[in-house]
A and B are shown apart, each in its own frame.
Chain A
């Protein structure tokens, strides 16, 4: 596609439920990044994928968070047993290896 696409745009979920957030990177981009932005805050790194290499998971805040990238393209971020503190905008970006990163529009997650 022309840009990074994320779905859904908005997600409201009940505390304790699992959620899946999807990211479609720019075609041909080998690197994919997930970040989280709480209200009025900066961007917090979550996880980084590069090609077939083992992902950098150093930013995942707890074992309730996981992510996968299938076929080197689409990525899914899964949050299990959601908590209210998980409410935030989740942003995905992609880039060529070592190149300029471009962001999607984000998924706004609200846990009630």
Chain B
């Protein structure tokens, strides 16, 4: 089955720093989402980005589907950015379920 790997697995930043999170997938996909799971466990939608680049405030994402990766950029990080970031991909064939990546655990220090 498809493999969805995220890097780095863990990241510690000082408040105000920038970071890039990566999502690699092993098969062709027709959709990709980025989520932030906050410390209370809620999954927050960040981006719905099958291809191209999108920006939302301090966050932006780029998906290059032909090269099978997506990047999530966090600029001027804040302590509220702490949590786990997941990418999830939907395959180009067969079922339309989402397969989740391994996650990046981010801690932003004040």
Binding site for B on A (CB under 8 A): 31, 33, 35, 37, 42-43, 45, 48, 50, 56, 58-59, 89, 91, 93, 97-103, 105-106
Contacts and interface: CB of A to CB of B under 8 A. Distances in A.
For B31, B42, B97, B101, the residue with the greatest tally of chain A CB atoms inside 10 Å of its CB is: B97
B31 A98 contact: yes
B1 to A, nearest CB: 9
Nearest to B48: A100
Contact-residue bracket for chain B: 20 to 34
Contact of B43 (A56, A91, A98, A100): A91
For B43, B100, B101, B102, the residue with the greatest tally of chain A CB atoms inside 10 Å of its CB is: B43
B86 A43 contact: yes
A48 B41 contact: no
A58 B103 CA distance: 22
B41 A89 contact: yes
B58 to A, nearest CB: 21
Interface in B32-89: 33, 35, 41-43, 45, 48, 86, 88
